[in-house]
Chains A and B, each alone.
Chain A
Amino acid sequence: MTLFKEVTAVESLAVKKTARLSLLGFFMAMPPVLVIISFIGAPILLALAFSLGFITGPNRIVALIGQEIYPKTSWWGTLDAFKSVINDSRFPGDLKTTLTVTIVSTTLVIIMALGMAIYQRIIGGRIASILVALSLVPLFVPVVISAFALRTFYDGTGFLKTVFYHIGLNFPTLTMTSNAVVIGVIWTSLPFAILMISSGMQSVPDALIESAQDAGAGFLRIVATIMIPLAFVPIVIATTFTAIGIMGSFTIPYFLGANQPTMLGVEISNFFGPYNRPQHSVVMAFIIFSAAAGIAILYIWANIRSAHQSGRI
């Protein structure tokens, strides 16, 4: 069977791009990098040192002001501050709350965003556009206002409580509970998730969906085997950004959550300010950092994997 055989010799693959390294480009890119190194990178290192008990030099002032500081006991520092935090009666509850709220909220946000994005892609129409537009409204609203509005809506004199009162039922007061925090972070996280996932879904070419139909695939199979894999990177971006944002959030839990246990973001602020235990505050920050780093690695992996797949790397 010699069909198509000679054709191979005629065809050629794409030429790999060669690029000169640019010195100008390096310097142009420097400013934001320097700002980040100075005001994010350096503080992180300082704070790491502080959390491990290095209280001299730049950390001196904050060590003097703060209470219950654990100075280092060996050349690499000490784990006393970490132990103190973990043994603190408040910490386990806070950690559990933070993780639960993050996992539950992220899951719900992604499911909602996926649902609406797929609906918009496959079926389209006015209802789909209205749904997506609604989901973007929170983008317009500063977080402080959102938190306050949500609190007023769900508190003891809130909307549902009023409505249910007239029906004769008692709708529970949601504020000061983790449930309100979940509602609040979902509310604020939807816009970005929808933007990402919807853009990913729209980028799936019609032809790829149609060829699956032509091969005999039904709706669910197309979603599972074609659309979601092809929108993989935006979905991962949405998931990681949402999760990281929720994990470290402050304003929403501050307004809507309970005093105890609360999300770690609020606790960090509490320990730094009112309780005046800056070292504990910083330790907690690193615990969140570590969790966030794990999630961020997922994001980077997803980007690299997709770049491999599409032949960019």
Chain B
Amino acid sequence: MSIANESLGLELIGLNKILGGRIIIENLDLSVKKGEMVSLLGPSGCGKTTTLRMIAGFLRPDAGRVILTGNDVTTLGPDKRPSAMVFQNYALWPHMSVFKNVAYPLKIRKMSKNEIIKRVHEALGMVNLMHHKDSRPSQISGGEQQRVALARALVQEPDILLLDEPLSNLDAKLRIKVREDIRDLQRRLGITTVIVTHDQDEALSISDRIAVMSDGKIEQFANPQALYDEPSTEFVANFIGSLNRYTGDFYEGRIQNGDKVVGIRPEDVYFTANNVPDGQPATVDLVVPRGHFYEVYLSSNGYKIRSFMSSEIPQVGENGFVKISKALVYIGGKLAKVA
């Protein structure tokens, strides 16, 4: 239970949603600080888009409340909420020029013509598209269309900015550049922002905090480092980053028999030719070059372990020692111990 708090940009309280007979969202709570950039991250079907649409107002929750900057907007339609959304396929109106697309929300707010021109130019300037202001959406590229959609959202000076899979339609190189630009823009303007994505790279690189979702629930809501170092559930450990996974237990520096779930990040596994404290005997099965690091597949004590190494790469078949510096142990899906 929490009281409507002005310093929170967004509060979701006890959201529930059933669609087509299935429970999509179940008792979801979320608090986003003002000016924070938060990602909803998860596999398809986890409910992240449904949640975003409930924030925007396109879906009405079956139970629960949506509070934007201290105001309960649960019963308001999307046109009345102080939120602005950038749609996955940009949703630019093809029969209007770029300028008119961005000006549309301002026309609705009945601003004067001069004021509209000023604000639209400002928004287009922010995304560096002034040179296309009279073009039609069909005449500009996908990335440019996205920027128009962004400008159209920002021109509304919303309390909260919602982005639905903003990078999924861009090619890989572009993605990295554009996400940095979005991050910079967001920081500068200080707008509370929620991004929906299935790409953990994206989420990890630009979010203040990430809500990892699965089956309509938030598994963990924390900053990227915490998610990575201490994933509170098995799901999060599997979803974020790579994981060696075993049924058993972990103590005395090695994998043991047991009925718990043990997760070991490849970055926490080292192979050395000479023995080290807590080292276990190990053999190198396979070495796969991955560009700026190597995947080294090891066998030790009957377990196969994957390691990421970037120096002193061993040869295939070499015998040596493996050191596991950290392991995550889960009981019933929840983090029990970090060894």
Contact = CB atoms under 8 A, between A and B. Distances in A.
- A contacts B directly (C-beta below 8 A): yes
Interface of A: 1, 3-8, 10-13, 205, 207-208, 210-218, 221, 225-226, 229-230, 232, 309-311
A210 B78 contact: yes
Given A1-B125, A3-B128, A205-B91, A12 B141 contact: yes
Given A1-B125, A226-B93, A309-B138, A214 B83 contact: yes
Nearest to A12: B141
25 contacts: A3-B127, A3-B184, A3-B185, A4-B128, A4-B147, A6-B177, A7-B174, A7-B177, A8-B128, A10-B174, A11-B142, A13-B141, A211-B91, A214-B57, A214-B78, A214-B79, A215-B84, A215-B152, A216-B105, A217-B79, A217-B108, A218-B79, A229-B95, A309-B94, A310-B94
A216 B79 contact: yes
- List the 4 closest pairs (A to B, CB-CB), nearest first: A311-B138, A215-B105, A207-B91, A211-B91
A221 B108 CA distance: 9
A138 B173 CA distance: 57
Nearest to A211: B91
Secondary structure at the A interface, as helix, strand, loop or mixed, is helix
A7 B181 contact: yes
A7 B143 contact: yes
B303 interface: no
B293 interface: no
Interface string B58-81: 100000000000000000011110
Nearest to B81: A214
Contact of A213 (B79, B93, B152): B79
Contacts of B177: 6-7, 10
Interface in B12-51: none
Contact of B109 (A7, A11, A216, A226): A216
Interface of B: 56-58, 77-80, 83-85, 87-89, 91, 93-95, 104-105, 108-109, 125-129, 136, 138-144, 147, 149, 152, 156, 173-174, 177-178, 181, 184-185
B85 A211 contact: yes
Contact of A1 (B89, B128, B173): B128
B105 A4 contact: no
B210 to A, nearest CB: 24
Contacts of A230: 93-95
A3 B126 contact: yes
A211 B56 CA distance: 10
B104 A5 contact: no
Contact of B87 (A10, A13, A207, A225): A207
Nearest to A207: B91
A308 B240 CA distance: 47
Nearest to B127: A4
Contacts of A210: 58, 78, 85, 87, 91
Q: Which of B95, B127, B140, B178 has the largest number of chain A CB atoms within 10 A?
A: B95
B174 A216 contact: no
Contacts of B125: 1
B23 to A, nearest CB: 23
Contacts of B181: 3-4, 7
B91 A216 contact: no
A313 to B, nearest CB: 11
A309 B83 contact: no
